[in-house]
Structures are given as C-alpha cells and as structure tokens.
Amino acid sequence: MSLPRSLTRSLAVAAAAGALLATASIAPASAGGKGGEEGLGHYRGVVTAKGGIWLRERPDRSNRQVRFVKQGEQVSIYCKTSGDAVRGNPVWYLLTNGTWAWGSARYIANVGPVPRSC
C-alpha cells in the first residue's frame, strides 16, 4: 500500500523545510553583507568602554581596526575566544553587527548567558 501522492509531497516539503531551518540556525552567513546577520547573534552584549571601542579584524590589539562601536550600543555576539589580554582579560567576542569583527570582552558586558566558545 502506498501513500497518496499529495501526502507524500507534503511530507517531503516538511522534511526539507526542517532540514533548512536546522542548517540556517548553525551556519554563519557570509561575512561581507548584512543579510541574515541579525539572527546569528545568539548572545547579546553592551559596550561599556567610555567613549566606545574599536572592533578588530582578529582578537589582537595590534590588528587592523574594522569598525567603531559607541558606549551603550547593543551588540550581537556569535562566540568567544582567547586573544591578547586587555587590562588582564584575554577573552574576545566575535560580533555580527553589520561586520564580522572582534571586540575585547573587557569592554563588552554580557546580557544573558555567557557566549559559547568558537
């Protein structure tokens, strides 16, 4: 006995949609554009540095500056890693706001759970 064609098609569409949603929730978007980046930051933070901070290309203070973020601005954090210690704190966050860039955790306060490791 076989399933009716419409039921088979519906099940296939549902399975494909479920697979697409599962993939989208774990795969990062391209680093270049803004499309889709808002949903990527599973973690949130707020910039606490007086005046703001420069985000970097890599988790290293001597690396190229990519973008400036003002004090009090909310940021989306993708993950954390170790890098150059900034005032004793070696943790850096990979941020997804408009540009994929690294910010020192010394100047970004978590809002909610601690970000996962990269």
Domains and CATH numbers, the chain: 38-111 (2.30.30.40)
Contact call for residues 82 and 48 (beta carbons, < 8 A) = no
- Tokens of residue 36, six digits: 């889709």
Dist CA 71 CA 67 (whole Å)? 13
Task: pLDDT tens for the chain, 118 residues: list them.
Answer: 444 544 334 333 333 333 333 333 333 333 333 333 444 558 999 999 999 999 999 999 999 999 999 999 999 999 999 999 999 999 999 999 888 999 999 999 999 999 999 9
Strands 108-111 and 101-104 turn out to be: unpaired
User: Could you tell me the pTM of the whole model?
Assistant: 0.65
Instruction: Tell how many helices (H) and how many strands (E) occur in the chain.
Output: 1, 7
Q: Which residues are CB-neighbours of 109 under 8 A, at least 6 positions away?
A: 45, 46, 48
